[in-house]
Amino acid sequence: MKTDMYKLDELNRREFVASAAKACLGVGLMPMAGSYIHNSVSALTPGSRPAKARYVIYLNMTGAMSHLDTFGTNPDAPDIQGPTKSIATSADGVFLSENLPETAKHMHNAAIIKTMSTSQGAHEQASYLMHTSYLKRGTIAHPTFGSWVSKLSGSINTTIPMNVQIGSNPAGAGFLESKHGPLPIGNPSAGLANSKSADYLDESRFGGRLALAQKMNASYLNQYDQKQVRAYSDLYKDAVKLMRSEDLKAFDITQEPEQMHELYGKSNFGQGCLLARRLIENQVRYVEVSRGGWDTHDNNFEAVATNCLDIDKALSALLLDLEMRGLLKETMVVLTSEFGRTPKINPRDGRDHWPYGFTAFLAGGGIKGGTVYGKMDKVGRNPEEGKFVDPASLNATIAHALGLPLNDVQYSPSGRPFTVAHDGNPLFEVLA
Amino acid sequence: MAVRWSVIFSIILGFSPTSRGDELFRTFTASSGQAFTGRVLSYEGQTFYIQGKDSKLYPVPFKQLSPEDQKYLIQIAREGKIPKGDPRKLSTVEKQEEKPSVASDSEGTTNSRAIAKPKPSFRKGSFFAYKPVNLGQDPSLAMESKNVVSLPGPDEPVDFTNHVLPILEERCQSCHNAPYDKNGRTIHPKAGLRLDTYEWVMKGNLDDTVVEAGSLEDSYLYEVITLDQEDDMFMPPKGGALTAEQIDAIKRWIEEGAKPSAGGTGNTASDMGKGISFHNHIFPLIEERCLDCHGEPYVKNGRTIHPKAGLRLDTYEWIIKGNLDGTIIEKGNAEESTLHAVITLDADDPEIMPPKGEPLTEEEINLFKQWITEGAKENPSDTFVQEKKEDISVKTTDKKTVLSLVDQLSKRLKPPSKPQMDAAQKSGALVTLLSDRHSMVRAEFSSGPNLIQDDAIGALSGIKNNVSHLDLSRTSVTDGVLSEVKKFNNLTWLNLKNTSITDRGIEKLASMPYLTYLNLVSSKVTDKSIKSLESLTKLEEVYLWNSDVSAQGIARLRKALPEAKILH
């Protein structure tokens, strides 16, 4: 494994299978080898206690969601609030925008960080920072958070990937092995591409073709009976195993009953959330679902209200569905965007880019329900309560709940050290 | 000789330099020829402190003085007429010590030989200044009485701890004390005789007892302190004989029956009314039965041997602190305390502590129980502060230290070995420890669950006590598998979602003692299972959505398990 990391090239398929096999052995997940130290620091160190959450569904609002009109309303400051009203929720003292009436019923299971801030005010750079905890640089591709989760949490499932991204352009595994990168799914209704055998190829013909291939290989195998040669046929076997695996059904949301589709909403995002839940149920560790259309420089209030119809329906359905299936306690649902939007309403009735304050919504596994961290001041520029929380700290918070070692160093091919949440510190105020 | 003694005394007893007045003013001549009138107060290294007529202090280097002055200074320094050290510092130290010096002064005049060795004094609050406090006694009172009354009055009954023990401490325990470690060697008490507690004094050594209650003739201890000083067996061999008062105190104590102190240091149940002392009652037990495994880390063959379960019991603070998994003592609540739980298990329980030797006796267990109930205090006179309920922040942090059920179970077991883990994974299960240094494992069939049949569970039987989380969701198992699952004694979390499990299977789970999470979503379970589920009183979460259980069944279950979260 270690030698792989120093290679500049991506893994070839044989190495992929070989390392997947190693990972299947399920050896110790937490490389926390260390001496016995009894202090509060180690008590807080991930790995020393059972993880609170096992899975993450990360709902990424691309284009920067207007925090003031969704999760970060400030009823005390009507100047910046505009026409959006606040409504009470199932948690005492927690308020949401009127655009999210269904989500409000789940706030006893959720926490909101109201003082998120980022150093980047452009979409691509800010999104990169949110996903990787590092600033975008020309010299290196950092792994996304999902890739880190895949790398550090150890394999759960050998037949389907650990890290899936639904909608939007996938960011990669960076310098980590490519198997940790997200498996992209463009259209949730279409499922996993190129994983089925062709329609004309029935089981017996497929079997026949495999047998023929084996026959042709036989003499070569006899002559060169080596590990590397055998690995080729193993690769075929693994691929066939995946194709025939029941696990592939996880990607097929047509198997869900009609009322489930309706519960989540027929929008692309709703169906993406439904697929995310199916994948979590099949023990995929990290699923990201994106929803665009938030770059509301014009006509902000109408656009946000329209977007929220989708979001509210899908998010509340997801929380309800996870709860009913007994999954919510071990699944963390995160909803955030790359930055917020200006408190000042521009002449086109829109809001512009605002990296100085936005919100992150966290629910389910490992989260202290019904909490709000921080409060922005009346101009929405600085925290009135609490401190700014940067993207790295948000990622550190999620990583802590997942029991990932924050101090585990992975080296890039050029030998530079990186960790899962860079310099972020977990925000214990929102953790259970 | 007499002069010298008096000088030493004046140093010990701490007369301030001004009141010393033994050095007269004289004229010092510097080697450069300058003259200076003053008197020398003290010296430190090569510097002499000379007080001028103007009573200002002049530090003068020895080498700058004329040979005659040097001769004079050497003489008085040799004779010990002047103390060492900076007189300004000396005087402040002496001011602080004024009180004790008066006390020792009165003693000193009665017999100069007895306290020829000055007792070191320590700053207030220093660890070394700690004085033993009797059971049930107010510590501040105890300190005073110790300082003032060290010898019994003429008609007062002699008390072991107050009167006899201080004498033994002062004159005997430098040789007759508990074994201790010095440069890697254990130093045992001379003649195998310990005189550091009442029990040891009464026990004597291998030869015989040294104290016979009521009989001076049979008490060897009394005999050796009253021998002729030239006798080989005279005790103490160094520092001269005991004073007449001290001998008298020991004599009277033996004659009065050699009883333990009124407060009692004996380990008897009759003392319990007065409160349990950690140092006198609890720690000796822990020392005897627990420290073999739960002592401080030590190095053996170049490897550091850590205490088992990361739990140290060698000091009060460690005992209260517990280990990584949390505390082992809930102050005031013996039932909730892990320490109490593990010593009260059945003798054949694999998790009983101590694992070797006889279990603790009922009396010993009661000592622990009462000590914890009284608040697990270090000294019985400490007040036990109940947690303040109104303080929310304190409450939440305390909550974290309360062990979850699965952590408690983990403490009782060893983690599975590597071969055991490997064997368990033969079935296709993914088996992982819940966390580092956790003994409990999660077993799940995440890859190709549809291929998993009932027989797969067999591979887990080797670690069945370690399995706390078992995920059989989406597998092809049938009711039969639960006959095996019910043998997983420490199972807390069971997921049977999307399986063909029916009521007949659930019946078998009825006796599972620790089951807190049960997921029966999309299973074939009906109202018939409610009866079995009702008996699982530890259940906190039950998921029955999409099963065949009716609303009435749910209502009945909610009534039986009012605390549990039941979703339908």
User: Would you state the pLDDT for residue B383?
Assistant: 60
Query: Model ipTM?
Result: 0.79
Tell me if A38 and B448 make a contact (CB, 8 A cut-off): no
Helices B98-110, B139-148: axis angle to 10 degrees equals 40
Lowest mean pLDDT among A239-243, B15-19, B346-350, B548-552: B15-19
Q: How far apart are the first and last CA of chain A?
A: 35
Per-residue model confidence as pLDDT tens digits over B21-59: 457 788 888 777 777 788 888 887 778 888 887 777 888
Of B407, B403, B467, B457, the closest CA to residue B432 belongs to B467
Residue B399 has pLDDT above 90, yes or no: no
Q: Sorting pLDDT into bands at 50, 70 and 90, what band is B233?
A: confident
Per-residue model confidence as pLDDT tens digits over B438-487: 889 999 888 778 888 888 888 888 898 899 999 999 899 999 999 999 88
Nearest to B324 among A43, A241, A325 (CB): A43
- How far is the C-alpha of A221 from the C-alpha of A215, rounded, in Å? 10
Q: Which residues of B touch A35 (CB under 8 A)?
A: 304
Residue B371 has pLDDT above 90, yes or no: no
Q: Which residues of B touch A43 (CB under 8 A)?
A: 324
Find the closest chain A residue to B476 by CA distance: A246
Q: How far is B364 from chain A (nearest CA, A)?
A: 29
Nearest to A36 among B306, B435, B545 (CB): B306
Interface with chain A: mutation pick from B446, B492, B495, B540, highest number of A CBs within 10 Å:
B446
Tell me if B321 and A38 make a contact (CB, 8 A cut-off): yes
A407 contacts chain B (CB < 8 A): no
User: Would you state the pLDDT for residue B384?
Assistant: 56
Sheet holding A183-185, edge to edge: A183-185, A163-166, A286-291, A55-61, A331-337, A358-364, A110-116, A371-373
Find the closest chain A residue to B471 by CA distance: A283
Hey, which residues 336-365 in chain A have their CB within 8 Å of chain B?
none
Class of residue A252 by CB neighbours under 10 A (exposed 0-12, middle 13-18, buried 19+): middle
Q: Which residues of A touch B321 (CB under 8 A)?
A: 38
A26 contacts chain B (CB < 8 A): yes
Q: What SS3 string covers chain A?
A: CHHHHCCCCCCCHHHHHHHHHHHHCCCCCCCCCCCCCCCHHHHHCCCCCCCCCCEEEEEEECCCCCHHHCCCCCCCCHHHHCCCCEEECCCCCCEEECCCCCHHHHHHHEEEEEEECCCCCCHHHHHHHHHHCCCCCCCCCCCCHHHHHHHHCCCCCCCCCCEEEECCCCCCCCCCCHHHCCEEECCCCCCCCCCCCCCCCCHHHHHHHHHHHHHHHHHHHHHCCCHHHHHHHHHHHHHHHHHHCHHHHHHCHHHCCHHHHHHHCCCHHHHHHHHHHHHHHCCCCEEEEEECCCCCCCCHHHHHHHHHHHHHHHHHHHHHHHHHCCCHHHEEEEEEECCEECCCCCCCCCCCEECCCEEEEEEECCECCCEEECEECCCCCCEEECCCECHHHHHHHHHHHCCCCCCCCEECCCCCEECCCCCCCCCHHHEC
What is the residue whose two structure tokens read 């007269």? Answer: B24
B382 phi and psi, to 5 degrees? -60, 145
Nearest to B567 among A38, A48, A323 (CB): A323
Of B363, B359, B369, the closest CA to residue B337 belongs to B369
Q: Which residues of A touch B444 (CB under 8 A)?
A: 156, 283
User: DSSP code of B259?
Assistant: P
Residue B134 has pLDDT above 70, yes or no: no
Q: How far does Cα B477 stand from its chain's mean position?
A: 52
Residues B430, B435, B436, B442, Cα dihedral to 10°: -30
Find the closest chain A residue to B542 by CA distance: A326
Q: Which residues of A touch B450 (CB under 8 A)?
A: 246
Tell me if A324 and B304 make a contact (CB, 8 A cut-off): no
- Output the pTM of the full model: 0.58
Residues β-bridged to residue B84: B43
Q: Which residues of B touch A51 (CB under 8 A)?
A: 434-435
Find the closest chain A residue to B566 by CA distance: A324
Q: How far is B324 from chain A (nearest CA, A)?
A: 6
Per-residue model confidence as pLDDT tens digits over B304-345: 888 888 888 888 888 888 887 778 888 888 888 888 888 888
Tell me if B541 and A403 make a contact (CB, 8 A cut-off): no
Tell me if A157 and B446 make a contact (CB, 8 A cut-off): yes
User: Would you state the pLDDT for residue A161?
Assistant: 80
Q: Which residues of A touch B323 (CB under 8 A)?
A: 38
Task: Give me the DSSP letters along B518-567.
Answer: EE-TTS--BGGGHHHHHT-TT--EEE-TTSB--HHHHHHHHHH-TTSEEE
Q: How far is A404 from chain B (nearest CA, A)?
A: 10
Residue B146 has pLDDT above 50, yes or no: no
- How far is the C-alpha of A391 from the C-alpha of A406, rounded, in Å? 14
Q: How many contacts, defined by CB atoms under 8 Å, are there between A and B?
A: 88
Q: Which token pair is B161? A: 């701890």
Of B413, B300, B306, the closest CA to residue B352 belongs to B413
User: Would you state the pLDDT for residue A261?
Assistant: 94
**Residue B245, SS3 per DSSP:** helix
Rg for chain A (alpha carbons), in Å? 23
Q: Which residues of A touch B543 (CB under 8 A)?
A: 324-326
Q: How far is CA B123 from CA B88, B97, B127, B139, in A?
A: 18, 9, 9, 17
Q: How far is B515 from chain A (nearest CA, A)?
A: 15
- How far is the C-alpha of B199 from the C-alpha of B538, rounded, in Å? 47
Nearest to B541 among A50, A246, A326 (CB): A326
User: Would you state the pLDDT for residue B96?
Assistant: 45
The pLDDT tens digits along chain A (432 residues) read 444 444 444 555 555 554 554 444 333 233 333 223 232 343 345 556 788 899 999 999 999 999 999 999 998 898 899 999 999 999 999 999 999 999 999 999 999 999 999 999 999 999 999 999 999 988 899 999 999 998 888 767 667 788 899 987 767 888 888 878 888 888 888 777 666 667 777 778 888 888 888 888 888 878 887 766 776 666 666 667 666 666 778 888 988 999 999 999 999 999 999 999 999 998 889 999 999 999 999 999 999 999 999 999 999 999 999 999 999 999 999 999 999 999 999 999 999 999 999 999 999 999 999 999 999 999 999 999 999 999 999 999 999 999 888 888 889 888 899 999 999 999 999 998
Q: How far is CA B297 from CA B182, B281, B285, B423, in A?
A: 18, 24, 20, 33
A257 contacts chain B (CB < 8 A): no
Per-residue model confidence as pLDDT tens digits over B148-192: 446 777 777 788 888 888 888 888 888 888 888 777 777 888 888
Report the percentage of chain B scoring pLDDT > 90: 13
Per-residue model confidence as pLDDT tens digits over B83-115: 777 777 665 444 444 444 444 444 444 444 444
Of B301, B280, B282, B304, the closest CA to residue B291 belongs to B282
User: DSSP code of B128?
Assistant: G
Q: Which range is most confident: A74-88, A193-207, B214-228, B385-399?
A: A74-88
Nearest to B431 among A26, A47, A283 (CB): A26
